[in-house]
Each structure stands twice: as C-alpha cells, then as structure tokens.
C-alpha cells in the first residue's frame, strides 16, 4: 500500500500487479490469476483480510465523509449536506470536497505509517447521499442535497469531483453515490420495504442525479439501497444495476451494498431462501462488494451451481481496479497525494472554509420591519432555547469531531463581548413534556431588550434507523412541527412583548405557521458545523448579509403531504405540489434588494433537440453588498403527459456591490425541456415553454424578490431524446 514501508515493491518479473509501469487492467488480471477462490471471496467483503503471500495488506472499505472526514478523530466539520445545498454554490462545495479529501489522505497515510488499518481509515468514502428528499419526515434527508434532481445533481457533481481530484492516473479518494436508487424512508422498515414507482417518476425524479454523477463526475462507486424497488432488492436489481447503471450509463466503477443489505435479501425481503442464493443473485446482478458477511457463502453458492467463478472474477476485478486507481499498491513516490501532511487536518484555512460555508448556508425566512440586523448597542440580550448551547446540534450525523465548536449562544456572547449582557436559558428540552425551565426563560426574557430564540431539531430526533435516539419513529419524524414544548415556550416568550428573532436548527423542513404569523424575524441555520455559532452572530448583527436559499419546501403541516410510504411524486416537492407552502423551495431573503430586467432568449422559436440560451440582468438596488442566488425555471405549458409544474434548470450565486449590475446567462439543454411518457422515455413536444429568471420561483410568495419571464415556442414533431 502507498506510503507503507513494511510492504515490499517487487520488480515486474516478480509480481506484475505491483509494477506501476503496467496498465491497471493488466495488473488486476495478473493479481486475480494468482489468487485462490477463498482469497478472491475474502476481498469482496468490506473488511478484507490481508493475503500475506501476495503482499496484500488488510483493508476495510468502509469510510464516510458526508460533510468532513467522519468517525476518525479530529477533523474539520463543515455544515451538514442539506446546509451545503442551501448555499446553492457549486464552487464552494467543490472547495470543501477538496479540503475533505486533503484531510482524508493525510489521515489515511498517517494511519498506515502507524500500521492502523482499522475501519474509517481507508480511502473509499461512501459519500455523497444523492437521494431525493421527497418527504420531510425522512430522518436521513439531512444527508441529502434536497428535493430537486437538478440541484442535487449539480451539488453532487461538484462534491465528487472535489473528492476524487483531476489526476490523469490516480484517484485522490474514491467517492460513492448512494443509495441507488429509489430510497428515502421509512427508516424502521427499510430492510423489508418495497418502493413502488412508475417509469415517469423513476426517470423524472429518482434517477437523474445518479446518472449525472456517473456520466459527468465519473463517480468511482455506487451503493445499492436496502429496500426493494418494484419488487426486486436494489442490491440484486438486474434492471437498475445491469440494464441501466452498467448498460445505458456505462458505469465502470464498483457497486457496494448498504451494510447488511445482502442479508436482507433472504432474511427480511424473503426474496430468496438462503444466504447462498442471496449472495449469488447480488453478484450476478452487479453488486461487487458486500458491506456485511453474506458473501462468505459464495463458495457454497458455486458448489450449488448458483454462480460461477468467472462472475466472482468480474466483480473482484472492479474492486482491485479501484484500489489500483487509489495507488494502494504503488510506491509512495508514484502517487501524488501521499505526502499531504497531517497538519492539514483541522488547519486554519479549512476552519475558515467551514465558516464561509456556514455563512452561505443560512437562510433568512422572515425579517418584518427590518428587525435584523440587530444593533450591538443593545444592553441585554436573552438567548433562549434547547438548541442554543448544544454542540451536538451543530454536527448533524455522519460527522467528524471538531477540535472546537461554537454554539449559537457562544457565538452571540463573543460577538457582543463587553458591549452588553447576554443571558441564557434552555427553557425546555428538545423533546418531552416538561416546562420546568419556562420560569427561568420568562424571567430573563422580561429583562431583555431582545430575545433570540434558538429551537428546532437535533440528530437525536432525525437520522438513520437506530441512530436518532429520541426519534419516535426510529429515525424518522411522525410530525414536522416543533417537537416537545418548544412552540409553547416560544408563545410564552412572545407574550412578553419583546422583539424576537427565531433561529431554527435542523436538517429538514419544520412546520411553524404560528411563528411565521407572529414572530418578526426567522432564520434557518441547519446543522451548521463547527463555526455555526460564529456566523449566526455575524448574520444577526449585520456583519454578513445572508443569501442562502431553501433546498426543500417548507410545508404548513403534515396534512399537506401524501402518505410517507407512497413513492409517487404527485403532491410532493415544489415541482408537483399545488397547495400553498409555508415557504417555497428556492426561497430566501436578504438585507439588500435585487432587481431583474432585460430577459433575452437566443431564439423565440426552436426545434426539438436544440439548445436555448437565456440571459437577464441582475442589479443590486439596495445599499449594501450582498449575494444573490439567480435561479432559472422552465415550465412546459402544453404537455400532453403529466409533468412538473416547473423545474429548476439553472442557478448561480453571485456577489454584487450596492448599485452594481451583472448579466447572467444560462443554456437550457434539450433534456431539460423533455417530459416523460408512460414508458419513461424522454420526449420533447411542440408547444409553448415558459422561462423565468429571478431570486426564487416565479410565484406570488417570491414576487417581492423579483423575476423576469418570457416564452419560447418549440415547433416540429414530438421527438424522443436520450436523457
């Protein structure tokens, strides 16, 4: 393994597979030819033992880096994935992924020098999670980039490219797109659940991000989901893994199962009767690596005639190719990433990057009468709420350990310093029915000039099955309102008559219709990472002008949602939701104002399959510098098949000084103008398309943020296109 002085590097004649001058394909074939069947099978499980006679060290494939290197000690902790999506900034996400991969490489080689080959020390990272966040009840939605396939694709591409690097020969680390393919809860029954989806929703919503990461980002790995899709287990799904992933998309990397998912095939899905059958059908379908131990039954499967050794060789070769691309069998001087120093971990530059990511992730949802920003001359500030001084709330799930973390209370206290008094009371727990902290909270609220209420969720309430300890639905949420007594506490504070800034923490939409009606200023801060408290104070006191945008729809109540188990997209997300949301996808306010004008289309009439260029001028008409997230939406007005109300087709985050203008241009590709027929085929039909560019969707709730709209006419015959 690279940077491992204990493993010799023999000459080509001794072991072809260790000769860096030979193409990877030949090296992989040479190694497989030297291995016994037992050795081959041993390397197809995530905890792969050493093969001493061939000089192969032990390797555990399982590692995580959703928003920083996870579970391997000190690391820079960036905002949770949903917060990264709220930045709507692909350049920033790319830089974050580069920083994560620097820390990953440094940690890996430091561990190898200490002969530590334990879990979470490798270079194969099972991130990002690009499932569509179709329902706010799903606990793992915080790990995603939101509800929109296009936003998810663009953020995901940037993240994967940042992780894997651009070296012509070697991968910096190996990224993994998960969980393929139709997967977003419910968590408690994921091991037996069958997600039923029609061809239109499959191709319109659930597959596009995976296709984009495979085709455009060249992601090295794909993880199969726990559930079944239309009756067949995802990790043994002949169509998803064979026909689509490797056939239509020409995926060249390896497929890994979610942990325990192969065992689920016979134990919980009861799709087959034995572990031998489960292992055989998974490998034959194209799942190369088993996170778990079911593949240890492959020898018996061969003896029973369920699979042949050639199928084993095919999967094993894909795994060896990944390790070769990572430089694991090459001398350190051959691999450009082996000398990244360990002091890059948690360095000042990465901490500043985490701070910038947290800044850009904050979404200002309401600012009545310009209550924000607050003046630092306030004499007494009350910071009240159960998530105001809890480090765990900063971190979300799948997180690393920061060397220091700034909570909202600490950030506000530091920002005010000796200029005024900052008082704190939790008021209540995140969950539970106790109000014993109300009296203390009310007492300091009465003394304060302003109240900053910090409330919401933590990863103890939303997350993975078994991981969210306080969830009443084993990871998911049964309701989407503020949990416990938090809203009652908020009403108690409101009764004091003092101005209130409500700060929401969490990884998903929270239904707060009463607060929207009664609280003058509301901020969504997500799980903001190690610097969340610092940047929250910057926003509250006006040092930074917020410009994040919602990557999910905020609903008024759970009554606006279809049943959680229903995977049909009708009535879900901004693309199919016909009711009025609490706040729409793409929404976010600012401390300055922007004006849109001069919409231009490259043509008023185009033929099916032609590109369309669209531009508009954006001007900062406020009195301070600020960011704007320019969003392009497209609507097919005359479609004959069911289709989205509108779809995001482009976005760009820009910074403009007061009075400054910029012309932003987008290219709409043919695939962005297609609808899907009943068979899931993409079709561009003749007719009128509406185009809009603005700071949000072209709807009444965002009209005050401004947008410009136009139309283009597509003429010709309906045309099928490759999506």
The residues carrying an active-site annotation are 258, 462
Give yes or no for a contact between 283 and 295, defined as CB atoms under 8 angstroms apart: yes
Q: Residue 561's Cα: distance from chain center in Å?
A: 22
CA proximity to 500, closest of 376, 381, 414, 375: 381
β pairing state of 707-714 and 687-694:
antiparallel
> Dihedral of the CA atoms 164, 166, 167, 168 (nearest 10)?
110
Residues 378, 50 contacting (CB under 8 angstroms): no
Instruction: Enumerate residues 6+ apart whose C-beta is below 8 A from 542.
Output: 372, 373, 374, 591
C-beta of residue 653 within 8 angstroms of C-beta of residue 87:
yes
Strands (E) located in 491-625 = 500-505, 521-524, 594-601, 605-606, 612-620
Detail the DSSP E strand segments found in 417-559: 421-425, 450-456, 500-505, 521-524
Query: What are the b/e assignments for 360-395, b being 16+ CB within 10 Å?
Result: bbbbbbbbeeeebbbebebebbbbbbbbbbbeebbb
* Cβ contact 200:149 at 8 Å: no
DSSP string, 193-207: -EE---HHHIIIIIS
Say how many C-beta atoms besides its own lie within 10 A of residue 302's C-beta. Answer: 19
Classified as helix, coil or strand, 538 is helix
Rounded CA-CA distance 620/293 in Å is 58
SS3 label, residue 612: strand
Chain centroid to CA 332: 32
Longest alpha-carbon distance in the chain? 83
Q: How large is the C-alpha radius of gyration of the chain?
A: 26
Reduced to 3 states (helix: H, G, I; strand: E, B; else coil), residue 452 is strand
Which pair of structure tokens corresponds to residue 470?
């306080």
Looking at residue 237, what DSSP letter applies? -
């Amino acid at each position: 393994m690279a940077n491992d002085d204990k493993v010799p590097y023999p000459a080509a004649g001794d072991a072809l597979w260790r000769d860096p001058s030979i193409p990877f394909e030949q090296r992989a074939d040479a190694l497989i030819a030297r291995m016994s069947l037992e050795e081959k099978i041993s390397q197809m499980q995530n905890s792969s033992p050493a093969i001493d006679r061939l000089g192969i060290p032990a390797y555990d494939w399982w590692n995580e880096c959703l928003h920083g290197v996870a579970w391997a000690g000190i690391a820079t902790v960036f905002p949770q994935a949903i917060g990264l999506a709220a930045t709507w900034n692909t350049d920033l996400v790319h830089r974050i992924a580069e920083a994560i991969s620097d820390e990953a490489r440094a940690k890996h080689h430091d561990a190898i020098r200490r002969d530590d080959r334990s879990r979470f020390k490798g270079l194969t990272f099972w991130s990002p999670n690009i499932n569509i966040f179709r329902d706010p009840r799903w606990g793992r939605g915080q790990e995603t980039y939101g509800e929109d396939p296009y936003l998810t694709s663009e953020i995901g591409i940037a993240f994967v490219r940042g992780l894997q690097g651009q070296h012509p020969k070697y991968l910096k680390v190996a990224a993994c797109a998960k969980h393929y393919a139709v997967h977003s809860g419910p968590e408690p029954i994921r091991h037996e659940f069958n997600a039923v989806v029609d061809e239109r929703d499959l191709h319109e919503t659930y597959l596009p991000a995976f296709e984009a990461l495979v085709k455009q980002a060249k992601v090295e790995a794909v993880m199969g989901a726990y559930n079944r899709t239309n009756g067949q287990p995802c990790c043994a799904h002949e169509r998803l893994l064979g026909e689509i992933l490797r056939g239509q998309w020409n995926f060249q990397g390896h497929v890994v199962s979610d942990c325990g998912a192969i065992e689920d095939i016979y134990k919980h899905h009861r799709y087959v009767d034995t572990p031998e059958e489960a292992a055989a059908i998974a490998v034959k379908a194209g799942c190369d690596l088993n996170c778990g131990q079911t593949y240890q039954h492959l020898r018996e499967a061969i003896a029973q005639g369920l699979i042949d050794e050639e199928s084993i060789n095919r999967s094993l070769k894909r795994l060896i190719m990944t390790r070769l691309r990572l430089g694991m069998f090459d001398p350190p001087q051959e691999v450009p990433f082996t000398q990244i120093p360990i002091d890059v971990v948690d360095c000042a530059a990465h901490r500043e990057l985490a701070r910038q990511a947290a800044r850009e992730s904050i979404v200002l949802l309401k600012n009545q009468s310009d209550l924000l920003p607050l003046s630092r001359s306030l004499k007494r500030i009350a910071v009240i709420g159960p998530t105001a001084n809890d480090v765990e709330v900063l971190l979300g799930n799948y997180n690393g350990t920061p060397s220091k973390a700034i909570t909202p209370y600490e950030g506000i206290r530091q920002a005010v310093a000796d200029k005024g008094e900052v008082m704190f009371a939790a008021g209540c727990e995140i969950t539970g029915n106790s109000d014993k902290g109300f009296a203390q909270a009310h007492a300091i609220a009465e003394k304060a000039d302003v109240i900053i209420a910090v409330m919401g969720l933590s990863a103890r309430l939303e997350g993975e099955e078994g991981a969210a300890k306080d969830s009443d639905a084993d990871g998911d949420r049964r309701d989407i309102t503020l949990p416990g007594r938090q809203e009652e506490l908020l009403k108690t504070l409101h009764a004091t008559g003092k101005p209130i800034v409500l700060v929401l923490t969490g990884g998903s939409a929270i239904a707060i219709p009463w607060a929207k009606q009664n609280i003058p200023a509301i901020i969504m801060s997500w799980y903001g990472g190690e610097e969340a408290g610092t940047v929250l104070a910057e926003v509250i006191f006006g040092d930074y002008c917020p410009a994040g945008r919602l990557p999910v729809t905020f609903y008024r109540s759970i009554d606006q949602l279809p049943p959680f188990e229903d995977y049909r997209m009708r009535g879900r997300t901004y693309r199919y939701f016909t009711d009025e949301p609490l706040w729409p996808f793409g929404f976010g306010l600012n401390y300055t104002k922007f004006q849109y004008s001069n919409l231009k289309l490259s043509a008023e009439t185009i033929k099916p399959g032609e590109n369309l260029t669209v531009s508009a001028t954006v001007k900062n008409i406020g009195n301070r510098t600020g960011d704007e997230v320019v969003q392009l939406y497209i609507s097919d007005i005359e479609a004959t098949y069911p289709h989205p109300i509108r779809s995001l087709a482009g976005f760009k985050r820009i910074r403009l000084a007061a009075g400054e203008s910029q012309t932003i241009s987008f290219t709409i590709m043919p695939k962005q103008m297609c609808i899907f027929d009943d068979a899931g085929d993409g079709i561009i039909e003749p007719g009128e398309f509406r185009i809009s560019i603005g700071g949000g969707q072209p709807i009444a709730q965002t009209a005050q943020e401004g947008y410009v709209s136009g139309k283009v006419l597509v003429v010709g015959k309906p045309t099928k296109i490759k999506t």
